Amino acid sequence: MSALTEIYVDNVTRHLPEDSRPDIAAEITATIDDMVDARLGEDADTSPDHTAAVEREVLEELGDPVALSREYSNSPQHLIGPNSYPVFVWALRWVLPVVGLLAVLTNVVTTIAVSPGVQIGEIIGKAAGNTVIALLTAFAAITIIIGLGDRGMDGGAADSLRKRKPGTWTVDDLDRGDSHGKQIRAEAGLGLVFIVALATVPLIPTTLLYVGHLNDGETFINPDLGVGWLVGYWAFLALMAVVEIIKFTTASAKPTVALFGGIVDLAMAVFLTIALLTQPVLHPELTNTANADIQQIITVIAIWIITVWDQVSTWRIYRRNRR
């Protein structure tokens, strides 16, 4: 075996499982030698230069060793396969906006709470930087988790094929599950989780976000806030929960339910805007006179971003379902 063939064979086998390398290397080497011999046999010229030229020709015919190695390995050459792709897109569409908004809110509130007198530019800079990191981390986590799942089920294709023997499929095997209904249920379930999380916000102690030293571990909410505001907040959340429960149990998003949900969302946003702009809603010890208003305004902006995004996505789903 010439040095060139040896290098070529090494290039092919270096990415293959170790136990299969010697066998494949021996087979490729024998093949290359056979191909070279066959071509030299047709030729009268047996000079070393001619032999080297023929060998080069044979190796080039076999092509890129990486491609040949890929053919041998026969493993999936994709990260997210066709069966996992819809789940991947769905996860990105739901998780990234939520992570982004939570990251912005958390960063704004904690930056202002930890550094009294902080400038608006610093708040934006910190929030933007940390939000980008949070988004990239979430994206990487989703991609890795679904990519690993995809490896486990070979893109889903092999899994679905393994379920039954060839030729045994009947129409009774059709998946009669309402995929549209399943999606509505999944979205409603996720919505309920968010609502429960939002309901607990007035009760969360500052120690949970490692800023408990600022107000002796009390909540983020002003303890002097009228009980009526809290009851109103929970009442609106209860209405939102009712909408999601209806969607979950009926597995459908009828226009009336969607419209009612939209109205409740808007009413909630108006309620929170009034609450935030008429009194200190956040704990006074977390704010200071210079930045208290900015904190409240940023929170209001975040609330309206969430509300508008929710309205737009609801409208898009409604339009999609009408088609």
Q: Which residues bind other proteins (CB under 8 A)?
A: 23-24, 26-28, 30-31, 33-35, 38, 61-63, 67-68, 71-72, 74
**10 vs 178, beta carbon nearer other proteins:** 10
Shortest Å distance, C-beta 61 to other proteins: 7
**30 vs 308, beta carbon nearer other proteins:** 30
Residue type at 261 in one-letter notation:
G
Shortest Å distance, C-beta 160 to other proteins: 19
Contacting residues for 244 by C-beta, under 8 A, at least 6 apart: 188, 189, 191, 192, 195, 261
**16 vs 257, beta carbon nearer other proteins:** 16
CA distances from 83 to 76, 95, 163, 265 (A): 13, 19, 15, 34
CB 253 within 8 A of CB 184: yes
Shortest Å distance, C-beta 24 to other proteins: 8
Contacting residues for 199 by C-beta, under 8 A, at least 6 apart: 234, 237
Exposure string over 198-226, b if 16+ CB within 10 A, otherwise e = beeebeeebeeeebeebbeebbbbbeebe
Euclidean distance between the first and the last CA atom of the chain, given in angstroms as a whole number: 66
**154 vs 218, beta carbon nearer other proteins:** 154
Shortest Å distance, C-beta 54 to other proteins: 14
Shortest Å distance, C-beta 149 to other proteins: 24
**17 vs 284, beta carbon nearer other proteins:** 17
CA 287/CA 118 separation, integer angstroms: 11
